Amino acid sequence: MDYQKLKDEIIEYSKTIGIDKIGFASTSTFDELKNRLLRQQELGYQSGFEEPDIEKRVNPALLLDEARSIIAIALAYPSKMRIRVESKKGERRGIFSRASWGIDYHVILRDRLLKLEQFIQSKIPEARVKSMVDTGELSDRAVAERAGIGWSGKNCAIITPEFGSYVYLGEMITNLPFPADEPMEDRCGSCTKCLEACPTGALVQGGQINAQKCISFLTQTKDLIPVEYRDKIGNRLYGCDSCQTACPENKGKDFHFHEEMEPNPEEIKPLLKPVLALSNREFKTKFGYLAGAWRGKKPIQRNAIIALAHFKDESALEDLINLLKEDTRSVIRGTSAWAIGKIGGQRAKEGLEQATEFEQDPNVQQEIQHALEMILKNKTSKS
């Protein structure tokens, strides 16, 4: 079998099914990644969303018998909305990060990988393959880097010269010995713009990220967000793009190749107050198709409350007081208490004081006390 010829055919075919970049890599173990993961584990930098078995993450041979190559793919996504929302005075909106615009990218990439699998198996019926996107054992970024898709930036994203870092990544392990491509040279140089732009200092020199500090991770957790990060979240409902928008390699990069990736502005930049009142069914209908909905309704509602506090939206006060009094979820009550304290004023104080009479959860009680102290402090500093 001429594997170089088949590789060329795969490259040609990939262009016809909406794959924007493709690369081929060996299946040798990812030793550098292993060291980095071990260091991350030691330092407590993990998100907890990763595959827990480090060996599986670094050794493709454990994932497919006789693994001989990995095919990496990249699809470029838009960085700007074609249609913008009409902002009206006083309306407050949240934002989903770019990686959650359009249909969940896992679905789109799986479709492309499935087509690629079928193409390969039409050429070699006995070929064995294993595809993955994001939630698989392998690191999409480490594979893409080795396959020459792009270099690994200091913002921990893969940066392609063509599309910047606005690319979704996926890969397929195969038992076919395709010739490997060369990794790309790192072009970050002395630039540190992403490190400077990160609101929480989550990027550590040497291309490491402390997930526990990263807003993108924090917006996806389900518990109370540590107080020190709440102000930094701003109006982000899901994810964070700051270290990508700051990157000079992304300047002017905005590609609209895939209709499924076009965002509905009303959904990825929704009005905040209606988000608080969504039923489970409404949430599923409106947001369920987005990548950012994968953790369900609660984190998005909690983040919407934080965003209303960020805007100090007094018109949301009654809604927040109702949540504090009536919501069954302690995370929502606790975050509402904090937001009420941030917005401040006499009505906020009354709402919090009323809640102290019946709140049973110690964490929420603590949030209420903290919120009352914020109001008192503000009053003292104004007088």
| Contact residues: ligand SF4, CB under 6 A | 153-155, 159, 188, 191-194, 197-200, 202-203, 209, 214-216, 240, 242-243, 246-249
Do residues 73 and 18 lie in contact, with contact meaning Cβ atoms separated by under 8 Å?
A: no
Output the smallest distance, CB 158 to ligand SF4, in A.
Answer: 10
Q: Contact 243/192 with Cβ under 8 angstroms?
A: no
Calculate the alpha carbon distances from 80 to 74, 262, 311 in Å.
19, 9, 23
What positions carry a catalytic annotation?
Answer: 134
Residue facing ligand SF4 at closest CB distance: 153
Retrieve residue 104's tokens. Answer: 């969940």
Closer CB to ligand SF4, residue 202 or residue 375? 202
Radius of gyration of the chain (CA): 23
Residue with tokens 């195969």: 174
d(C-alpha 73, C-alpha 133), whole Å: 10
Q: Minimum distance from CB of 47 to ligand SF4 (Å)?
A: 11
Residue 241 beta carbon to ligand SF4: minimum distance, rounded to whole angstroms: 7
Question: Could you tell me the smallest distance in angstroms from the CB atom of residue 236 to ligand SF4?
Answer: 9
Which residue's CB is nearer to ligand SF4, number 74 or number 172?
74
What is the rounded distance in angstroms from the CA atom of residue 217 to the CA atom of residue 351?
A: 31
203 versus 309: smaller Cβ distance to ligand SF4: 203
Tokens at 110, concatenated: 């799986």
Closest CB to ligand SF4 among 60 and 153? 153
Q: Quick count: other Cβ atoms within 10 Å of Cβ 277?
A: 11
* Residues 6 or more apart whose Cβ sits within 8 Å of residue 278: 286, 297, 301
